Amino acid sequence: MPKDTSADSISLLSKNVRIEGEIQGPENLHVEGYLKGAVQLSGDIFIGNTGIVEADVEAKNIVIQGEVNGNVKAHQQLEIHPTGKLVGDCTAASIDIKEGAVFEGRSNMIKSSGTAAGSSSNSTSSRGPQIRKQPQPE
Amino acid sequence: MPLFGKKKKETKAERPQVAVSQNETSYFGKNLRIKGRVSGNGNVIILGGLDGEFNLRGRVKVAQSAKIKGEVKADVISVNGSVKGSLAAKDRIHLDQTARVEGQITTPKLTISEGASFDGEISMNDRSSKPTGTRKTDSALEPPSTTAPTKKIDDR
């Protein structure tokens, strides 16, 4: 799967446009409009201030500034900004929820797909504390 | 993967700026596949795949890499890619050199460039140029009224 060749363009769903249906593909998507259905991307999804998403969303990184009603799954990071609202369950490798953000639902952590290989080495190093190889961009 | 981390930081910093510049033209990249219905007000450029329906007040541009199966309804439609289905414009339709269209075209004004391929029917009735006269087509082109609260959202 040529997943890494994906993230070169950003698709935009502008404010007064709505999509009802399924969206998928190796793309980045910026939503300022209305989206209903299902979203499955191997790129990132950014839901802007005016964006409303009523769908289950799966993407690499998910950034929410607008509203999401549905279950989200981020293979890497989920970010909910102060203006953001998520009603639904989330699954992510890393979560960043800012002050003021709304999140109603359950949260479930997964291992980042990029660092999955590092977890197997933990079983051999039983002496010391386990070292988590999670990427920390800060 | 050190490259990956870098990219992540960059996108984080850039994105809020993208949100500020209110771009009215929607853009669907070439790797994006949409199944379903796209409606509303605004211009759209599509480079990817659509299986379903466009129903827009505005311009639709079907780029060379785009593949559409279904219906396209808009004010102005310009085609460089491939469309299987029907095209209906209130104002005009243009098929460019690289266009591949199979199906039905309904428009008051039409241009087809040399090299374009078109297999199907054309209907150009004069009534459709004045949208108030044709009730039937008008209601079909009208996006659902549920899109009304866009103004409220705008205030935020």
- Between B129 and B90, where is the model more confident? B90
Which ipTM did the prediction report?
0.74
Residues 80-99 on A with a CB inside 8 Å of B are 83
Residue B6 confidence (pLDDT): 47
CB contact under 8 A, A137 and B1: no
Query: Taking chain A (138 residues) in consecutive chunks of 10 residues, what is each chunk's mean pLDDT?
Result: 55 94 94 95 95 96 97 96 96 95 94 52 38 46
Residue B4 confidence (pLDDT): 52
Q: CA distances (Å), B127 to each of B98, B120, B133, B137, B143, in order?
A: 30, 21, 7, 10, 20
Residue B11 confidence (pLDDT): 43
DSSP string across A11-61: EEE-TTEEEEEEEEES-EEEESSEEEEEEEESS-EEE-TT-EEEEEEEESS
* pLDDT beyond 90 at B155: no
In chain B, the residue whose alpha carbon lies closest to the alpha carbon of A63 is B12
- Split at pLDDT 50, 70, 90, the class of B91 is very high
- Split at pLDDT 50, 70, 90, the class of B126 is low
Q: What is the mean pLDDT of residues B117-136?
A: 67
* pLDDT beyond 50 at B105: yes
Q: Which residues from chain A sit within 8 angstroms of residue B37, using beta carbons?
A: 19-21
Residue A6 confidence (pLDDT): 46
Residue A9 confidence (pLDDT): 83
% of chain B beyond a pLDDT of 70: 65
| Backbone phi, psi, residue A47, to 5° | -105, 110
Q: Is the entire prediction scored with pTM above 0.80? A: no
Q: Which residues from chain A sit within 8 angstroms of residue B42, using beta carbons?
A: 14-17
How many residue contacts between A and B have a Cβ separation below 8 Å?
123
Residue A7 confidence (pLDDT): 52
Residue A103 forms contact with B (CB below 8 Å): no
Residue A3 confidence (pLDDT): 42
In chain A, the residue whose alpha carbon lies closest to the alpha carbon of B7 is A7
For B26, the closest of A17, A26, A83 (CB atoms) is A17
| Backbone phi, psi, residue A27, to 5° | -140, 165
Dihedral Cα B24, A20, A70, B155, nearest 10 deg? 30
Residue B61 confidence (pLDDT): 96
Residue A111 confidence (pLDDT): 85
**3-state SS string for A50-115:** CCEEEEEEEECCEEECCEEECCEEEEEEEEECCCCEEECCEEEEEEEECCCCEEECCEEECCCHHH
pLDDT in tens, B5-62: 444 444 444 444 443 344 579 999 999 999 999 999 999 999 999 999 999 999 999 9
Residues from B contacting A (CB-CB < 8 Å) are 1, 4-5, 7-9, 11-12, 15, 18-19, 22-42, 44, 48, 52, 56, 143, 147, 150, 153-154, 156
